[in-house]
Structure formats: structure tokens, C-alpha cells
Chain A
Amino acid sequence: MTALLRAEAITKRFGPTLALDALDLEIGQGEFFALLGGSGSGKSTLLRIIAGFETPDSGRLLLDGTDIAATPPWARPVNMMFQSYALFPHMSVADNVAYGLRRAGAPKAEAASRIATALAMVGLSGFERRRPHELSGGQKQRVALARSLVMRPRLLLLDEPLGALDAGLRERTGFELRALQRETGAAFVMVTHDQEEALALADRVALLDGGRIAQVGPPREIYERPASRFVARFLGAANVLEGRAAQDRFDCPDAGITCAGAIPADTVAIALRPERIRIAAAGEGPNTARGIVQDVAFRGDDSLVLVDLGGGTTLRVAHPEEGGPPPARGAAVTLAWEAADVVPLAS
């Protein structure tokens, strides 16, 4: 993978707040990359620095090996789709899409054909003369996308691209974004607070926390092998159990359970995914637990079962539909999991 964009020790402060803390990041040619994090994690600041709306206090931002940290936004070969779409309200759809081409001084005939291609790409041919206020939310988003894509950027920034869409449209738009990304060959960098969105769309995900990268990697890797308690909790709300590492096992005295497996000595907690825990008929020893069903929530393809282990510990268990009806509230159950599903966390 050749790096298209490389951030080196990017630091940004807003008054007393440290928004980005010596952050390093590499984004490859034609990659779909997601910056995932909660509010205040620094993901939006990073996106705005890449777009040129903010200047880092220190560090370098290399695009194809050239430092662009001080280049103003209008001179960067990077385009952005804004969360609010930021369509020019006084211009037609065609004029919105033409805006960047006009600034670049593209010849009229070429501009016209590129605008037509871009609008066809997002399925909005025939909407050229509409004004933004005559469009639905989804259509506005497509215009914003066409307006960025018509510039043929090598790097397209997307700020919460699905954030303002309703549930039905999100899935479809997500697939369309991926198709567009493959078609154009541009690198897409998306900011989102929604872990499902990040895992579903991106080739690689960087999870940000407090202006630093908590973990970066392909979705499956960071989902299945979270590096820290924070990552485990953020991605799909795994069960995180505190305890002490011993030889090939991990003891959780509060929950009264012991996990056996390949546990490194520096492990401070373990993560257990809800869907990896089975409700077993009986069992004892390591990698099992007993508890009382506190509550059951039906979720369609599975039921979320909260099991109280005592000692203030509750495990979230995903009980699949094909496993028969879930246990009733108040029932005593035995839980079991495989040693391989125990994820040791070093921090």
C-alpha cells in the first residue's frame, strides 16, 4: 500500500483543550478509511485539518510526499462533503456542481460533460435546474457528493455522510458510497460516530480517543481483537471484565469467574463479545459462569439477555433465534464460551 496521505505528529489545541495529540496516520491510495470516535475525540478536527479549514499547531501533513499543512483549502487537491451538505441555496443543482469547475477555469464543453457524468453517477440526471430547497435530504446529499466528485479529487473527505439520513436510506447510501469509491478510485476518508457505519463501509478504521488513535486496522481485526478496554466498549459494547492475569488464565474475582486461554502477563482486563457467549445446559470450571437472567430484549435476529453474575457484574449475552426461545427473566442460567473468544486487553 502506497501512502497517499501521511499525518506526522499532528497536534492541535483550542485554548486549553488538546484536540489532537501528536497523531500519526497513514491513508493509502484508493482506500476507504473511517475516522471513528465520540464527540471530542478529535476526528472532526483531523478532517478539518486535512481539508485545510484548520492549521495544525505542529506536525506535518504530507499529500504525495508534499507538506500541505500550510496550504489554504482552495489550493488543495482535496474535496469535502459537508455534514450539512452546504449546498449554495441561491444556485441550481447544475450550478452547485459547476462551482468548482468554474473556479478551476474548466472549458465550458468539458465542464458540461463532467457535470452530466457526475449527476448521472449519483442518479440525479434531470435535476439540473432544481434549487436545493426543492430537494429531499437524500437528494441534497447526492448533489453534495456530485459537487465534490466532479472535481475528481484523489482524496474525498466525508463528514458524517449518512448522519442526516433516515434508517432505510442509510444502508442503500452506504452501499452506493462504496460503489462510487471503487468506481472513482479516489481515497475516501469518512468521519463518523457510528461504529456500525464505520465497520460496514471502511477498508480500515481508526478509532480516536482524546486526540490520539486508540487502534487502527481493518474492521474485522479491531472488532475481534480490540487493543484496549476503550476499543472493546466502543465497538459493539463488548463485556469488559477487570481482574488479574496468572499463568494461562485470568481471574475476575468480582464476577467469580476464571478464563483460561493464552493470556499475556500484562493483561489488565478481558473482553467477551455478547454473541460469543452461549447459554449452556450445565457446566463448571474455567470459561463458564452462573447467573440470574435480569432482563431480555428481543432484537429480531437475536435476543439480548442480561445475566447478573453477582458482585455487581452483569454480562450481556446475545442469544440467537435458532437457539430456541431465550430464558425467562429470573431464570438461573449457566453461560459458557471458548478459550479462543477471550480477548486479553493490555490497557
Chain B
Amino acid sequence: MRNRLAVLLPAWAWLLIFVAAPAGILGAIALAEADPGVPPFRLAWSTAGFAMLVADDYYLGAFLTALRVAATTAGLCLAIAYPMAMGIARARPDRRVLLLALLMLPFWTGFLLRVGAWIGLLRDEGWINGLLQGLGITDAPLPMLYTEGAMLVGMVHAYLPFAVLPLFAALLRLDPTLLEAAADLGARPAIAFLTVTLPATAPAAAAAFLLVFIPAAGEFVIPELMGPSEANLVGRVLWQEFFQNRDWPVAAALAVALLVLLLVPIRLFQRLEARP
């Protein structure tokens, strides 16, 4: 019993200091009143911050945009991850390690560096426009950066490995004789994929979707640096409220609302993970 306590103590301490305490502080700020001083709030028992979220369509719009962009990102990741994961799962075991390492390689460079690289490629004076104009294919630069497309490219690039890894694990477990049985019974490869591979790996696909969707819903850096100025995702709005408007109670209320909203997919993910 004492041993168990000793083992669990650091974990509980960690949770207390880095999860419970910040959440408590956040909750307290969300319920505080805005104040022009330092810090910019006065502890109180006010629901004004939350009332603001409901009253102003701007915040509801920010949530909906974030959910839409996160769902699109997760969907694109899934579409790209399936063929990648199948390729890796079917590769020779020694090559599999190399392919997985290549998949993780971008994570070894800084996140901002990768976003910066995309900006360098996509901006008006960037590599792609330079090449297109240099070859005489276009006269004027194509506006690529600061579009929703650029934002999605950045997001998909950042989150793709989260989708590939669970699919890879599920495809590796998939019995290859199932596909042979499907072929034997008259299914062409595409039909066998739709009728056998896809349903058999559906739980992993759902997990992959949520693993991308959950962090993407709160993403703020990529929309800020690569997205159009009108793309007011909740993460971005939250940042603006904290650092530009200095309305901490509204910002904290936004953070709490986002957390509650994401608890639904997180719970879904846990149930999928718990399945045998």
C-alpha cells in the first residue's frame, strides 16, 4: 500500500500542479470580472464572460469555424494516411522501420520552422510562384498564402503522423488472408479494400480522425501564420482576447468552453481505445 502510494505520488503531484491548478485558475478567471488594472481581472462570481460567448455570434462562429476546419483537416489526414499506412504495413519489415522514421522525421525540426518553410514556398515571392513565373506559366503571383487552402496544407502536414500511426497499427494486425479470401470470392482489390480493409480498420480510422481533430480544433499558430485574416478560429479568437483585448474573463470562458466541447470527442476516443 505504501509502495503504491510512493509510485503514484509523482503522478498525482504532476496532475495537481500542471492540470488541476491551471484549470482552477482558468475557471476562477472565467468567473472573474474584467478590470483595467494589473492583472486585468478582479476575482468575483460573475458569469459575464460566459454570457458574452452566448450573446455574441462572433464566438459561436469561431467555434463552428474551428470545428469545420478541424473536421476537414482530420478528413484530409485520413484520406492521405490510408494509402501511406497501407504502403508502410505492406513493406518489408526492415524497410518498415525506415519508412516510419521518415514519417516522424518532420517532428525532429521545430514546428515553427516547418510553418516557416511552408510560408517560404507559398508566399507571393515564394519558391512556387517564382518557379511558375520563371517558366512563364503565370504572369502574376498566384495568391496561395493566407488562404484557407494554405491553412489546411499547414494543418494536414502538422498532424498527418497522428493519423498514420493508428492506421498502420491496425493494418499490420489485419490478417492478409482476409484479402485473399475476398479476392478468391470475386472481389477486385478496390472492392476488397471497401468491403474488408475499411470496415475491419474502422475503429482505428475513427481513432485517427479524433487524434487529429482534437488538437486541430484548438490550433492557433497555423491559422494565424498561414490562414486568411477572416478565418477566426476559436484558438485564434482566444489569443486575441487574452493578448490584444486583454479581456481575460472572456478568454478564459472561451478556453473552458472549448475544453468542455472537446471532452465529447476525447471520451469517444477513450471508448474506442477501450474496445477489444
- A residues near B (Cβ < 8 Å) are 51-53, 72-75, 78-80, 82, 84, 86-90, 99-100, 103-104, 147-148, 151
Contact = CB atoms under 8 A, between A and B. Distances in A.
Given A73-B180, A99-B195, A103-B191, A86 B186 contact: no
B96 interface: no
A82 B177 contact: yes
A151 B185 contact: yes
Given A89-B200, A90-B199, A90-B200, A84 B187 contact: no
Contacts of A74: 183-188
A205 B43 CA distance: 89
Interface residues of B, number: 18
29 contacts: A51-B184, A52-B183, A52-B184, A72-B183, A72-B188, A73-B180, A73-B183, A73-B184, A74-B185, A74-B187, A74-B188, A79-B184, A80-B180, A82-B180, A84-B177, A86-B177, A86-B180, A87-B181, A88-B178, A88-B182, A89-B178, A89-B200, A99-B195, A100-B185, A103-B185, A103-B186, A147-B181, A147-B185, A148-B184
Contacts of B64: none
Query: Looking at chain B's contact residues, is the secondary structure mostly helix, strand, loop, or mixed?
Result: helix
Contacts of A103: 185-187, 191
B196 interface: yes
Contacts of B182: 88, 99
B35 interface: no
A78 to B, nearest CB: 8
Given A53-B180, A80-B184, A147-B185, A86 B200 contact: no
Contacts of A100: 185-186
Residue of B185, B188, B196, B200 with most chain A CB atoms under a 10 A cut-off: B185
A44 to B, nearest CB: 12
B175 A86 contact: yes
Contacts of A84: 175, 177
A147 to B, nearest CB: 7
A221 B101 CA distance: 59
Contact of A88 (B181, B183, B202): B181
A121 to B, nearest CB: 17
Contacts of B183: 52-53, 72-74
Residue of A78, A87, A99, A104 with most chain B CB atoms under a 10 A cut-off: A99
Contacts of A73: 180, 183-184
A89 B191 CA distance: 17
Give the 7 A-B CB pairs with smallest separation, nearest first. A100-B185, A103-B186, A86-B181, A73-B183, A86-B177, A90-B199, A74-B183
Nearest to A48: B180
A159 to B, nearest CB: 9
A80 to B, nearest CB: 5
B180 to A, nearest CB: 6
A110 B184 CA distance: 21
B125 to A, nearest CB: 51
Interface string B161-199: 000000000000001011011111111100100011001
B5 to A, nearest CB: 40
B45 to A, nearest CB: 52
Contacts of B185: 74, 79, 99-100, 103, 147, 151
A287 B188 CA distance: 63
Given A52-B183, A79-B184, A151-B185, A86 B195 contact: no
A75 B182 CA distance: 12
A334 B175 CA distance: 57
Nearest to A99: B185
A87 B178 CA distance: 7
B81 to A, nearest CB: 20
Contacts of B181: 80, 82, 86-88, 147
Nearest to B196: A88
Nearest to B201: A90
Residue of B178, B183, B184, B196 with most chain A CB atoms under a 10 A cut-off: B184
Interface in B184-232: 184-188, 191, 195-196, 199-200, 202
A51 B178 CA distance: 14
Contacts of B187: 74, 99, 103
Contacts of B177: 82, 84, 86
Given A74-B184, A103-B186, A103-B191, 5 more contacts: A52-B183, A74-B186, A80-B181, A80-B184, A90-B199
Contacts of A52: 183-184
A74 B186 CA distance: 4
Contacts of A88: 178, 181-182, 196, 200
A74 B181 CA distance: 9
